[in-house]
Amino acid sequence: MKAIRIAISAQRLAAGLGFVCAALLAQPALAGIEGLYSVEGQNPGQPGSYKGEAQIKQTGRTYTVVWRIGQTQQIGTGIVIDNVLSIVFTPVGPARPGVAVYSISGDKVTGGVWTSLGSQVVAEEVWSAADRP
């Protein structure tokens, strides 16, 4: 009787693991967007433009993004859903944190919009893959 219970428990465990594995495999693959990008944009509601770079590194199911614009640096964490990279970021220094949403084409981020916490306007930013064709 004990052997039958163990066999049934093992079957249930195997079925449960199979279900979990199938669910994980059904998740959409994350885009291979890692790398160095050149960025160009404009601060929300301000004249003039800026140029800099952004580095993306995959960290599990999320991405770490580091921008370097002139002497400033921002660090963010992003997720990809349906060819969209959404990032929450915070500047290194006294500026306000913000949110950014970028489009992905193929395996590259192409650009999008961002804003700072409490702002009522957004700004566009264009990305070009600097380390890949």
> Could you give phi then psi for residue 49, rounded to 5 degrees?
-135, 175
Give pTM, 2 decimals. Answer: 0.74
- The domain total for the chain is 2
**How many angstroms separate the CA atoms of 40 and 29, rounded?**
28
Q: Report pLDDT digits (tens) over 43-53.
A: 888 888 999 99
Residues 1 and 42 occupy one common structural domain: no
20 and 7: one domain?
yes
What is the phi/psi pair of residue 110, to 5°? -110, -20
pLDDT per residue as tens digits for the range 15-40: 443 433 333 334 444 448 999 999 99
26 and 40 fall within a common domain = no
Paired residues of 35 in beta bridges: 56
Range of the domain at 60: 35-129
